[in-house]
Amino acid sequence: MTLPYALKHSGGPLILIALSVVAYLMEPLSGEWLSYDRFAIQGLETWRVLTGNIVHTNGFHVLLNVAGLILLWALHGEHYRIGRFLKVFIWCALGTSAGLYLYSPDMILYAGLSGALHGLFVWGAMMDIYNQVKSGWLLLFGVGIKLFHEQWFGSSHSVAMLIDASVAVDAHLYGAFAGFIIFELMYVFSRSKEVKKTPK
Protein backbone atom coordinates (compact mmCIF):
# COMPACT_ATOMS: atom_id res chain seq x y z
CA MET A 1 0.00 0.00 0.00
CA THR A 2 1.39 3.37 -1.01
CA LEU A 3 0.78 6.01 1.63
CA PRO A 4 -0.72 9.31 0.37
CA TYR A 5 2.12 11.57 1.51
CA ALA A 6 1.32 14.46 -0.86
CA LEU A 7 0.28 17.63 0.95
CA LYS A 8 -3.07 17.69 -0.84
CA HIS A 9 -3.85 14.36 0.84
CA SER A 10 -2.21 14.89 4.23
CA GLY A 11 -2.83 18.62 4.74
CA GLY A 12 -6.35 18.22 6.17
CA PRO A 13 -5.40 15.62 8.79
CA LEU A 14 -2.31 17.66 9.73
CA ILE A 15 -4.49 20.74 10.33
CA LEU A 16 -6.82 18.71 12.52
CA ILE A 17 -3.94 17.21 14.49
CA ALA A 18 -2.45 20.68 15.02
CA LEU A 19 -5.79 22.06 16.27
CA SER A 20 -6.19 19.15 18.69
CA VAL A 21 -2.66 19.51 20.06
CA VAL A 22 -2.97 23.29 20.47
CA ALA A 23 -6.31 22.84 22.26
CA TYR A 24 -4.70 20.29 24.59
CA LEU A 25 -1.77 22.59 25.34
CA MET A 26 -4.26 25.33 26.26
CA GLU A 27 -5.99 23.19 28.90
CA PRO A 28 -7.82 23.74 31.20
CA LEU A 29 -8.97 26.93 29.47
CA SER A 30 -9.82 25.21 26.18
CA GLY A 31 -11.88 22.55 27.94
CA GLU A 32 -13.82 25.15 29.87
CA TRP A 33 -14.65 27.22 26.79
CA LEU A 34 -14.67 24.75 23.89
CA SER A 35 -15.96 21.36 25.07
CA TYR A 36 -19.46 20.14 24.26
CA ASP A 37 -21.56 21.18 27.25
CA ARG A 38 -25.32 20.74 26.93
CA PHE A 39 -26.16 23.47 29.42
CA ALA A 40 -23.70 25.94 27.89
CA ILE A 41 -25.11 25.24 24.41
CA GLN A 42 -28.60 25.91 25.76
CA GLY A 43 -27.14 29.19 26.98
CA LEU A 44 -26.33 29.99 23.30
CA GLU A 45 -22.64 29.03 23.40
CA THR A 46 -23.34 27.29 20.12
CA TRP A 47 -19.71 27.12 18.94
CA ARG A 48 -19.29 24.17 21.30
CA VAL A 49 -21.16 21.85 18.91
CA LEU A 50 -18.09 22.08 16.66
CA THR A 51 -15.20 22.88 19.01
CA GLY A 52 -16.15 20.10 21.42
CA ASN A 53 -14.77 17.69 18.86
CA ILE A 54 -11.19 19.01 19.05
CA VAL A 55 -10.69 19.16 22.83
CA HIS A 56 -9.73 16.08 24.86
CA THR A 57 -9.82 14.86 28.43
CA ASN A 58 -6.10 14.10 28.75
CA GLY A 59 -2.93 13.36 26.80
CA PHE A 60 -3.80 9.69 26.27
CA HIS A 61 -7.11 10.77 24.76
CA VAL A 62 -5.30 13.03 22.30
CA LEU A 63 -2.82 10.29 21.37
CA LEU A 64 -5.55 7.69 20.80
CA ASN A 65 -7.54 9.98 18.55
CA VAL A 66 -4.50 11.22 16.63
CA ALA A 67 -3.46 7.58 16.10
CA GLY A 68 -6.98 6.84 14.82
CA LEU A 69 -6.81 9.79 12.44
CA ILE A 70 -3.43 8.66 11.09
CA LEU A 71 -4.87 5.18 10.52
CA LEU A 72 -7.79 6.66 8.58
CA TRP A 73 -5.37 8.73 6.50
CA ALA A 74 -3.39 5.57 5.72
CA LEU A 75 -6.59 3.77 4.69
CA HIS A 76 -8.40 6.52 2.79
CA GLY A 77 -5.98 9.40 2.33
CA GLU A 78 -6.17 9.19 -1.45
CA HIS A 79 -9.76 10.48 -1.16
CA TYR A 80 -8.72 13.45 0.96
CA ARG A 81 -8.30 16.93 -0.45
CA ILE A 82 -7.72 19.66 2.11
CA GLY A 83 -11.00 21.47 1.51
CA ARG A 84 -13.02 18.28 1.09
CA PHE A 85 -11.52 16.65 4.18
CA LEU A 86 -12.22 19.66 6.38
CA LYS A 87 -15.80 19.95 5.10
CA VAL A 88 -16.46 16.27 5.74
CA PHE A 89 -14.91 16.51 9.22
CA ILE A 90 -16.94 19.61 10.10
CA TRP A 91 -20.20 18.00 9.03
CA CYS A 92 -19.34 14.76 10.86
CA ALA A 93 -18.52 16.78 13.98
CA LEU A 94 -21.76 18.75 13.72
CA GLY A 95 -23.70 15.55 13.10
CA THR A 96 -22.14 13.96 16.17
CA SER A 97 -23.02 16.92 18.39
CA ALA A 98 -26.51 17.24 16.94
CA GLY A 99 -27.15 13.56 17.61
CA LEU A 100 -25.96 13.91 21.20
CA TYR A 101 -28.07 17.00 21.77
CA LEU A 102 -31.26 15.62 20.22
CA TYR A 103 -31.13 11.94 21.11
CA SER A 104 -28.83 11.58 24.13
CA PRO A 105 -30.14 14.11 26.65
CA ASP A 106 -28.25 12.42 29.50
CA MET A 107 -24.93 13.21 27.80
CA ILE A 108 -24.06 16.55 29.39
CA LEU A 109 -20.35 16.76 28.50
CA TYR A 110 -18.46 15.41 25.50
CA ALA A 111 -14.96 15.93 24.15
CA GLY A 112 -12.84 14.29 21.48
CA LEU A 113 -12.49 13.41 17.83
CA SER A 114 -13.85 9.87 18.07
CA GLY A 115 -17.41 10.56 16.92
CA ALA A 116 -16.26 12.52 13.88
CA LEU A 117 -13.55 9.91 13.19
CA HIS A 118 -16.23 7.24 12.93
CA GLY A 119 -17.95 9.49 10.40
CA LEU A 120 -14.74 9.88 8.42
CA PHE A 121 -14.25 6.11 8.55
CA VAL A 122 -17.70 5.42 7.09
CA TRP A 123 -17.30 8.18 4.49
CA GLY A 124 -13.92 6.76 3.46
CA ALA A 125 -15.28 3.21 3.22
CA MET A 126 -18.16 4.48 1.06
CA MET A 127 -15.66 6.33 -1.15
CA ASP A 128 -13.74 3.06 -1.54
CA ILE A 129 -16.93 1.28 -2.59
CA TYR A 130 -17.79 4.10 -5.02
CA ASN A 131 -14.32 3.73 -6.55
CA GLN A 132 -14.77 -0.07 -6.77
CA VAL A 133 -12.26 -0.85 -4.03
CA LYS A 134 -13.71 -4.06 -2.60
CA SER A 135 -12.08 -3.68 0.80
CA GLY A 136 -14.48 -0.80 1.39
CA TRP A 137 -17.25 -3.34 1.99
CA LEU A 138 -15.10 -5.12 4.57
CA LEU A 139 -14.33 -1.85 6.36
CA LEU A 140 -18.00 -0.86 6.36
CA PHE A 141 -18.99 -4.26 7.75
CA GLY A 142 -16.27 -4.03 10.41
CA VAL A 143 -17.34 -0.63 11.69
CA GLY A 144 -20.95 -1.81 11.71
CA ILE A 145 -20.01 -4.75 13.95
CA LYS A 146 -18.04 -2.40 16.23
CA LEU A 147 -20.98 0.00 16.56
CA PHE A 148 -23.40 -2.85 17.28
CA HIS A 149 -21.07 -4.27 19.92
CA GLU A 150 -20.71 -0.88 21.62
CA GLN A 151 -24.45 -0.26 21.64
CA TRP A 152 -25.21 -3.73 22.95
CA PHE A 153 -22.33 -4.38 25.35
CA GLY A 154 -21.04 -0.89 26.12
CA SER A 155 -17.55 0.56 25.88
CA SER A 156 -14.16 -0.75 26.88
CA HIS A 157 -13.48 -0.21 30.59
CA SER A 158 -9.72 -0.07 29.99
CA VAL A 159 -10.07 2.70 27.41
CA ALA A 160 -12.36 4.63 29.77
CA MET A 161 -9.70 4.42 32.49
CA LEU A 162 -6.99 5.50 30.05
CA ILE A 163 -8.82 8.63 28.87
CA ASP A 164 -10.23 9.38 32.34
CA ALA A 165 -13.81 9.52 31.00
CA SER A 166 -16.56 7.19 29.86
CA VAL A 167 -16.42 6.31 26.17
CA ALA A 168 -19.25 8.09 24.35
CA VAL A 169 -20.51 5.16 22.28
CA ASP A 170 -23.56 7.15 21.15
CA ALA A 171 -21.21 9.75 19.65
CA HIS A 172 -19.59 6.99 17.58
CA LEU A 173 -23.01 5.93 16.28
CA TYR A 174 -24.13 9.47 15.41
CA GLY A 175 -20.79 10.28 13.79
CA ALA A 176 -20.92 7.13 11.66
CA PHE A 177 -24.47 7.93 10.57
CA ALA A 178 -23.41 11.48 9.70
CA GLY A 179 -20.55 10.17 7.56
CA PHE A 180 -22.97 7.94 5.65
CA ILE A 181 -25.45 10.78 5.07
CA ILE A 182 -22.69 13.16 3.95
CA PHE A 183 -21.43 10.64 1.40
CA GLU A 184 -24.96 10.13 0.04
CA LEU A 185 -25.54 13.88 -0.26
CA MET A 186 -22.19 14.37 -2.00
CA TYR A 187 -22.99 11.50 -4.37
CA VAL A 188 -26.42 12.89 -5.26
CA PHE A 189 -24.96 16.37 -5.76
CA SER A 190 -22.15 15.09 -8.02
CA ARG A 191 -24.64 13.05 -10.07
CA SER A 192 -26.88 16.09 -10.55
CA LYS A 193 -23.88 18.11 -11.75
CA GLU A 194 -23.01 15.38 -14.26
CA VAL A 195 -26.58 15.37 -15.58
CA LYS A 196 -26.52 19.15 -16.04
CA LYS A 197 -23.24 18.91 -17.97
CA THR A 198 -24.53 16.17 -20.30
CA PRO A 199 -25.00 17.57 -23.84
CA LYS A 200 -28.59 17.61 -25.05
User: Does residue 43 contact residue 100 with C-beta atoms inside 8 Å?
Assistant: no
Residue-level pLDDT at 195: 60
Residue 200 lies in a domain: no
Residue-level pLDDT at 14: 97
Quote the number of domains for the chain: 1
Of 8-12, 56-60, 131-135, 195-199, least confident by mean pLDDT is: 195-199
Burial of residue 61, with CB atoms counted within 10 A of its CB: 0-12 exposed, 13-18 middle, 19 or more buried: buried
Q: What percent of the chain has pLDDT over 70?
A: 94
Handedness of CA 133, 188, 74, 141 (dihedral sign): negative
> According to the per-residue pLDDT averaged within each range, which of 65-79, 142-156, 182-196 is highest?
65-79
Residue 194 lies in a domain: no
Domain that residue 99 falls in = 7-185
pLDDT at 194 over 70: no
d(CA 176, CA 133): 20
Residue 95 lies in a domain: yes
Residue 151 lies in a domain: yes
> On the CB side of 165, how many CA atoms lie within 13 Å of its CA?
18
Return phi, psi of residue 112, to 5°.
Answer: 125, 160
d(CA 100, CA 104): 5
Residue 70 lies in a domain: yes
Residue 198 lies in a domain: no
Residue-level pLDDT at 5: 85
- Could you read off the pLDDT of 112-148 as tens digits, one per residue? 999 999 999 999 999 999 999 999 999 999 999 999 9
The residue ranking higher by pLDDT, 176 or 2, is 176
The residue ranking higher by pLDDT, 200 or 175, is 175
pLDDT at 4 over 80: yes
pTM for the predicted model, two decimal places: 0.93
DSSP-derived 3-state class of residue 38: helix
Residue 1 lies in a domain: no
Residue 52 lies in a domain: yes
Residue-level pLDDT at 44: 97
User: Does residue 110 contact residue 52 with C-beta atoms inside 8 Å?
Assistant: yes
The CATH number assigned to the domain holding 42 equals 1.20.1540.10
- Could you read off the pLDDT of 29-45 as tens digits, one per residue? 999 999 999 999 999 99
Please state, rounded to an integer, the average pLDDT across all residues of the chain: 92
